[in-house]
Structure 1
Amino acid sequence: RSSIGQRVGDTSDPAFLRTWDYDTTAQSVADSAGKMLYADYVESGSYPIVMANHFGGVIFHEACGHLLETTQIERGTTPFIDKKGEKIAHENLTAWDEGLSGDAFGTLDMDDEGMPTQRTLLIENGILKNFLSDRAGSMRTGHPRTGSGRRQSYTYAAASRMRNTYIASGDYTTEDLFASIDKGIYCKKMGGGSVGATGQFNFGVDEAYLIEDGKVTKPLKGATLIGEAKEIMQRISMCSSDLSLAPGFCGSVSGSIYVTVGQPHLKVDSITVGGR
């Protein structure tokens, strides 16, 4: 049994709900559900994939973003602990975390320790540039504070957490990504998953399609993406120019907080796909 849905969120005036086109959203969800109802099961194997923009960014958030928090440095669980200034991803990948994007779900004037929020470059052209740090994390690790001290409420101690975290737009068109694949999988809508302490992950794909000779063809179901952050980051070889952000909630040591995830359409050269 599986399900299809779509989350909507904003931090602006709730009046945006008056202009939200819920009919179009509902029709899109219904169309996706109908296609998946009669989809074939995916065959297990290693495939090149195209991941959709918007909520597709949840994998970067979960499998890599948390590993760039100083909380993970203190625990000794991040494989990137001594990699600042080194190449940890493909040269076509740049990633940011910031709290400044208009009405995005993770936007805030200051963090929960009173430091003004800012724009933090995490990865630039594959090179690790910064970690996310709160006050205590900065004192213990030596990494500068980034306005990332966040908590759900006063009952939690603040910790280094993400805000609006996303992979930046690239120079390719979405068509370029598909055209580069002879046989692969288009992961249009991501589902839930799990992530190990050091970046091993598996994520279900709620809506997937076969790519054949650069074209999206039949729907597929039952796909699970399996990998490890430090390996998959090196295989994200193409990013399109259609960055889109999606609202969400993140649970960690300092409680559940508002965040944004995001990315453009991107190509992963090879990833293990679990299926039948």
Structure 2
Amino acid sequence: MGRMVVIDESVVAGTLSEALATGGEFAEVFVEDRRSSSALLDDGKVEELASGRTRGAGIRVVVGETTGFAQTSDLSEAGLAGAARAAAAAARGGGGGHRVVTLDRLDVPVSPDVELLPESVAKAAKVELLRRADEAARGAGSAITQVSARYADGRRRILVANSDGLLAGDDQVRTRFAVSCVAVGDTGMQTGFESVGRPVGFELFDEYEVDTLARTAANRAIIKLAAQPAPSGSMPVVIGAGGGGVLFHEACGHGLEADLVAKQASVFRNRVGEQVAHPEVTLVDDGTMAREWGAYAIDDEGRPAQRNVLIKNGVLTDYMWDLLRARKKGRESSGNGRRQSYQHLPMVRMTNTYLANGRENPGDIIGDTDRGVYVAHLGGGQVNTATGDFVFGMSEAYLIVNGEIGPPIREGNLIGNGPEVLAGIEALGNDFAMGSPGTCGKDGQGVPVGDGTPTLRVASMTVGGTAA
């Protein structure tokens, strides 16, 4: 695979010089060439079969506290120069002077090798995966009335250059498959979902059987047909390995992003060095995790991905940083500057965010819980980063009765506060697992992320159910 977008380095250097010609203090060129394809099978029919390609550059110029930004799909020398002038004008009108930029190529770790580029695979082979998944899901039981299966892949080649002399590139490939099922019974309509995604090529399906994924999604829907309404009130909650990472991503991770901290929109503002969680809790954001959904070689500002320990043994140690906010603090970026595409400015974003392993046997954690709720998988939710308050749905959950996992429950939410949950963790298992691939939305931009946890128990959380 190529390491970056093919574009003449002298053109990039000239574009940066043009961007600085009106007195800019910092300039950056981000070039992207993206290919994607997707296929959707719904109710036994192929409803979507799409492919696309976008190519362009985003140029930003910084003067003091002002950032000028322009984007263009014209990658000619003239097109880039025009965008550079527009960005510079937005940052600072008038002025003068000229600055020559010399670029030094940055050697970075190579993204995982791709054995079979998805763009080289026939559409028929991708559709066949969907049909297999549909058949397997419907074969799980007559209660399954609807099946939706989606395949998606993408290849993103980027080049980043800036006026500090940086020149770096990456070639990112991702492949994903998801199945959603609906089951109908005496309790009405219930849903089940399962997905897998990796920064690899079509060889993903040598490792993961779509039939198995489909049956898992179908069984989740079927199990909930016999579920009883979720209880209400405060009680111990056990979250299974890999099943609740999204809670910590949303309720804690966003509050540790330096831009939200600077805007005073984080409950963790000015708390570095403080004990914010149980002493056994370590929270990590790691863009170097090979084969995990949020991994990459460089971020979208050219900084190599890093493993950043945010909370260590319960103590808040650092935030996540992008380039500009790090420069203001006289430090280096943590490799968390990300953007959805060349049409967007980078901002501080998570990669793969997880709670590190504990020491306890997961069976003992459940066995030591007399009564509570076991959450195998959390669903979607929302959080107020300024307060840490959150609400999450439980897509697969069970009662814990006398230290054993009991009947399934449905129609329940977890309600709580991020810092309070961190402080309330009283047991961490030794069975760490990453969860399903996700897309994190922030300020209108979506980027791929991963999350994970070992089995853990929170002493008390509010369960919002419908049981009388």
TM-score (norm 1): 0.96
| Worse-matched range after superposition: 179-188 or 141-150 | 141-150
The aligned counterpart of 1:221 is 410
Counterpart in the other structure of 1:132: 320
Partner of 1:262: 452
Identify which range, 57-66 or 18-27, moves more after superposition: 18-27
Q: Is the 8 A contact 2:190 2:222 kept in 1?
A: no
* Distance (whole Å) between structure 2 residues aligned to residue 152 and residue 159 of structure 1: 10
| Amino acid corresponding to residue 162 of structure 1 in structure 2 | M
**Structure 2 contact 243–375 (Cα < 8 Å) conserved:** no
Choose from 52, 76, 83 the match for 2:240.
Answer: 52
Partner Cα distance (1:239, 1:91) in 2: 11
User: 1:206 matched to which residue of 2?
Assistant: 395
1:238 aligns with 2:423: no
SS of alignment partner, residue 8 of structure 1: strand
CA distance in 2 between counterparts of 1:106 and 1:27 reads: 26
SS in 2 for 1:107: coil
Cα deviation, 1:122-165, whole Å, max 9, x if unaligned, reads 11110001100001222345664201111011211111110111
2:291 to 95, 103, 107: 103
Asked whether the 8 Å contact 2:382–2:392 carries over to 1, the reply is yes
- Structure 2: which amino acid aligns with 1:195? V
In structure 2, the residue matched to 1:152 is 340
1:183 corresponding residue in structure 2:
371
Give, as a single letter, the amino acid of the residue that structure 1 aligns with 2:313.
N
For residues 330 and 361 of structure 2, what CA distance do their matches in structure 1 show?
Answer: 40
Give the secondary structure class of the aligned counterpart of 1:5.
Answer: strand
Q: What does residue 167 of structure 1 align with?
A: 355
- 2-structure distance, mates of 1:155, 1:253: 14
Matched, 1:31 2:219: yes
Identity %: 37
SS of alignment partner, residue 30 of structure 1: helix
- Structure 1 runs, 4 residues or longer, greater than 3 Å off: 139-144
**The residue matched to 1:154 in structure 2 has which SS?**
coil
For residue 273 of structure 1, what is the aligned residue in structure 2? 463
2:262 counterpart of 1:74 = yes
Name structure 2 gaps, 5 residues minimum. Answer: 1-188
Instruction: Give the distance between the partners of 1:87 and 1:27, measured in 2 at CA.
Output: 43
Match status 1:253 vs 2:452: no
Q: Contact conserved, 1:93 with 1:237, CA < 8 A, in 2?
A: no
Contact 1:187 1:208 in 2 (8 A): yes
Q: TM-score, normalised by structure 2?
A: 0.57
Tell me if the contact between 1:71 and 1:159 (Cα under 8 Å) persists in the aligned partners.
yes
Cα distance in structure 2, aligned partners of 1:197 and 1:96: 18
Residue 209 of structure 2 corresponds to which residue in structure 1? 21
Root-mean-square deviation (Å): 1.5
SS at match of 2:290: coil
Which shifted more, 131-140 or 265-274?
131-140
Matched AA of 2:441: G
Q: Describe the superposition over 1:54-107 as per-residue Cα deviations: whole angstroms up to 9, x where unpaired.
A: 241000001100000001112101111111011011111111111111111111
**1:142/1:55 Cα in 2 relative to 1: closer, same or farther (>3 Å)?**
farther
Output the amino acid matched with 1:21: E
Q: Structure 1, unaligned stretches of length 5 or more?
A: none
Contact 1:2 1:206 in 2 (8 A): no
Q: Partner of 1:156: helix, strand, or coil?
A: coil
* Letter of the structure 1 residue corresponding to residue 427 of structure 2: M
Structure number having the greater strand percentage: 2
Query: How far apart, CA to CA, are the structure 2 residues paired with 1:147 and 1:207?
Result: 34
Higher RCO, Cα 8 Å, sep 6+: 1
Alpha-carbon distance in structure 2 between the residues aligned to 1:39 and 1:201: 25
Query: Matched residues in 1 for 2:401 and 2:232: separation?
Result: 16
Question: What do residues 1-40 of structure 1 show as CA deviations (whole Å, max 9, x unaligned)?
Answer: 5421012101112212134122222222222211111211
* Segment of structure 1 superposing worse, 162-171 or 29-38: 29-38
* Secondary structure of the corresponding residue to residue 325 of structure 2: helix
Do 1:99 and 1:163's aligned partners in 2 also have CA atoms closer than 8 Å? Answer: yes
Q: Helix, strand or coil for the counterpart of 2:254?
A: helix
Give the 3-state SS of the residue equivalent to 2:400 in structure 1.
strand
Q: Distance in 2 between matches of 1:3 and 1:75?
A: 39
8 Å Cα contact 1:159-1:254 kept in structure 2: no
Q: Deviations over 1:217-249 (max 9, x none)?
A: 111111100011111110111111111113111
Q: Give the structure with higher Rg (CA).
A: 2
Q: How many Å apart are 1:254 and its aligned residue?
A: 6.7
CA distance in 2, matches of 1:143, 1:248: 30
Partner Cα separation in structure 2 for residue 228 and residue 71 of structure 1: 21
Structure 1 counterpart SS, 2:198: coil
